[in-house]
Each structure stands twice: as structure tokens, then as C-alpha cells.
Structure 1
């Protein structure tokens, strides 16, 4: 949430000063990093939530719809959605239940594996996710609040952190597109 007036002191810089003053020098830079990234996440999420509010979508619901819209057929196994969004299966299942309830997706039994579920984007869901994407692009993604160069640097730094945490491996070489 934006403040009407900026604070006279950066609270995160003050927190780092306190860490150093208390003799926690070994952890001060890490504390500063973690709290800075978490605050940036709060700021970005507030903007995303504001852009999605007119569509009655949370970012989690939007991500499921967008992922399905990106697929060739608008249908993906629930397990693929879980893997690609990198969240717990229970969270995706709960989100999918709400999307089904709202008529934005349908859930079917996988004809090849009766134990698995397929999620399918409905036409109403497709129309909604396209309008929501336009809003996010215009209100958040086109101007995230930092320069293009800083954005590229930050994405690269975070990607290295994510890779080290096991989020992904370097992709195998791909043939040139035809």
C-alpha cells in the first residue's frame, strides 16, 4: 500500500544498522537482502492485485488461467499445472475448484489415466484471462518500477538463486525453430 508521504528514513536500512549494532555482522547483509526482496514482493503484489481486482481474480487464479491459455489445446493435466507453477498440489487443486465453481475452467478425468485430472479452460475463462492479461501488461508489467537494465539484472540474479535452490536446470540445447 502506498504511503501519502515517504518515510524520513528507510526502515530496511535502519534494520540493517540495528543488526550491525547488535553484533550480527555475519547476518546483516542476508537480513537486508531477504527483507528487501520481501518488501519488493509486497509492492509488486499490491500492484498486481489492484490490476486483477476488476476481474475478481487473485494472482494464483490468474496464473492457472494464463497457463491453460498458453497451452495448445487449453487443457493440461493437474500435475503439469502443479509442476509449472511450482506450488503444492493442494493449493492448485483448491484454486482449480474455485475456477470450476466460477465456470472459468472445467475439470475432467484423464482418459489415459483415470486417477489423474485434466483442467480445461472454458471460453468464459479464456475471454477473462485475455482481458486480465491486458490489464496486467498495461498497469504492471510494462512499467514495473525499475529500469529495463535493472530489471534484466535483477531477473538474472534471482534466476541464479532459483537455480541454486533447485528450481530448474539449464535447458538442453534445442534445435533452431523452423
Structure 2
């Protein structure tokens, strides 16, 4: 249930105090980091959900449409979508099923692999994702709650955390042209 007023005390700071009081000082910083990131995720997702609700989109459906709209021809193999979105294949399948049901995307046979499917954004899907992107840009992304330097620093730190967890590697340098 959403709150209308801020809490008088930061519950995460209180949790850290309790962690230390219970002898878990070595873990207190990590617990505070994890809990803070999770809470920030909840706050940002609430803003995103509120912005996407008038468009009848969840963030998962929005991401899939945006991914398809970014491609040159508005299509990509299902396996590529799964890899890029970094979610379980069942989640992608369910998201695509709903997009197809709402005529925002279509499935087509893969031109080479008869077992695979191509995902294709429809004109209605492209129109909807463009309008939803404009709303997200205005209501969330242009003012995420930090200034530009702070935003860049948080992104840099989280990228270090993600890379350290094996989420991605640095791209290999391209060979010099012959």
C-alpha cells in the first residue's frame, strides 16, 4: 500500500543500526547496500508502472516492444530477445503471448531455423511504444531523482557490481582494418 507521507526515520538506517547491535558489523554495509538497491528498485518501478498504466503496458511488455522497435526491420529471433532481456525464456514467451494477443507483435517462422520463431512489432505496437517512451522520458528518465553527475556515478558503480558478478564483460577491441 503506498504511503502519502515519508517515514520519520530511514528504516534501512535503522536496520543497519540493528545489524551492528546484533554483532553483524561485518555484514552491515552489504545488507544496507542490498536493501537500499532493492528499495530504490521498488520506488523506480512504481514510477514506471504508473507511467505505463495508461498505455496498458507492464515494464516487461514495454521492454519487448522497445527492443523490437530498435531493430532495423522491427523483427528479431525469439532467442535474441531472451538473451538481450536477460530473463527466463518462459517470461519472454508469456510477454510475447500477451503482445500477440493484443496485436502489438506477431510471431513469424524463422527464415532459416524451422524450430525458431521471429518476433515482429506491428504498426500498432510501434505507435504504442513510441508514445510510452515519450511518457517514460518525461515522467521518469529525465528526472530520476538524482542530478546528472550523481546519476552517472550510480550507473558506474552498479556497472562495476554487475561486471564483478559476471553479468557482462568488456567488449574485445576490434582488429585494425587491413
Q: Where on the TM-score scale, by shorter chain, does this alignment land: which range?
A: over 0.9
Residue-by-residue CA offset, 1:123-147 (whole Å, 9 max, x unaligned): 0000000000000000000000111
- Give the count of matched residue pairs: 176
Residue of structure 2 equivalent to 1:147: 147
For residue 41 of structure 1, report the CA deviation from its aligned partner. 0.2
Structure 1 unaligned blocks of 5 or more: none
Distance 1:52 1:173 in 2: 38
TM-score if structure 1 supplies the norm length?
A: 0.95
Residue of structure 1 equivalent to 2:26: 26
TM-score if structure 2 supplies the norm length?
A: 0.95
Distance 1:5 1:106 in 2: 44
Residue of structure 1 equivalent to 2:79: 79
Tell whether 2:92 aligns with 1:96: no
Residue of structure 1 equivalent to 2:3: 3
For residue 2 of structure 1, report the CA deviation from its aligned partner. 5.4
**1:71–1:11 CA distance, 2 compared to 1 (3 A):** same
Residue-by-residue CA offset, 1:75-113 (whole Å, 9 max, x unaligned): 000000011111111110110000000000001120200
Residue of structure 1 equivalent to 2:53: 53
For residue 174 of structure 1, report the CA deviation from its aligned partner. 4.8
User: Over aligned residues, Cα RMSD in angstroms?
Assistant: 1.4
Distance 1:6 1:13 in 2: 14
Distance 1:40 1:157 in 2: 15
Helix, strand or coil at the partner of 2:119: strand
Helix, strand or coil at the partner of 1:115: coil
